Amino acid sequence: MQLENKVFVVTGGGNGIGREVVLGLLARGARVAAVDLNESGLAETVGLAGAGSANLTTHALNVTDRQAVLALPDEVNTAHGQVDGLLNVAGIIQPFVKLKDLDFDVMERVFNVNFWGVVNMTKAFLPSLMERPEAAVLNVSSMGGFLPVPGQAAYGASKAAVKLLFTEALYAESLGTNLTVTIVFPGGVGTNITENSGVEMPEVQDAKPGKGYTTTSPEDAGRQIIEGLEKGAFRVVVGSDAKFMDRFSRLSPRRATELIAKKMKDLLG
């Protein structure tokens, strides 16, 4: 998909990977509607965009607010005249506790943002996207969406739901149409997702799933996501950790699960 002069809606555009996707798209000549709950974060993104901010609009919005989300396409179309792509990047994690200690309201909040936020945005923008000669939906899942991480049962389940089978079903339904559908699996990325989620990150020793593991920078993650969008890729795996565990978990799901459990054994005490 050619990006220049196209209009993309990006959730989570006020920080982390979402911000880097916004800035990367602007640098490639696209126009962007950045969506985030955090108004100050969106303002920082505008400042970082520099001259590119002329092609950027910001929309302070909670993706769990369905009525507000359903009103967003008209707002974006008014500002930009069209919508060519939707990138659902926003997401939160849960506190690092075992399922037996995890409150229902916390699990519901995680699912409301990570799964229902994606559903709300996708349902809202699909009619506009299907009217375009070329369009795209890109949903960000997680390495935790295909591999269980101790202390992140609800988070992993929400990200697995984005993958299985929501995004993949949308891909199947869109075959032969103007719409490309991409699912993204980032591994460890150096963002402030714990702070944004209201979660404290415990110290973990030797939490590296494979040799050569390094945390991916938000800039690099954003670049890989945009490259996947350009190619119309079916799936994008970001980071050496995610790539290693993606292969290992398909080869031997039980051994991969046990490896992560062992590596993360200090996480929950």
Collapsing DSSP to helix, strand or coil, 98 comes out as coil
Tokens 């309201």, residue located: 105
DSSP of 160-175, one letter per residue?
A: HHIIIIIIHHHHHHTT
Burial of 219 (0-12, 13-18, 19+ CB in 10 A): middle
Among 12, 13, 21, 9, smallest CA distance to 222 is for 21
- Count H helices and E strands in the chain, helices first: 11, 7
> Using CA atoms, how far apart are residues 146 and 160, in angstroms rounded to an integer?
6
H or E segment at 43?
helix 39-49
155 is catalytic: yes
Q: What is the DSSP letter of 68?
A: H
Task: Identify the active-site residue in 8, 146, 155, 166.
Answer: 155
Pairing status of strand 56-60 against strand 179-186: unpaired
> Using CA atoms, how far apart are residues 184 and 93, in angstroms rounded to an integer?
16
Strand ranges (E), the chain: 7-11, 31-36, 56-60, 85-88, 135-140, 179-186, 235-238
Q: What is the DSSP letter of 13?
A: T
Positions annotated as catalytic residues are: 155
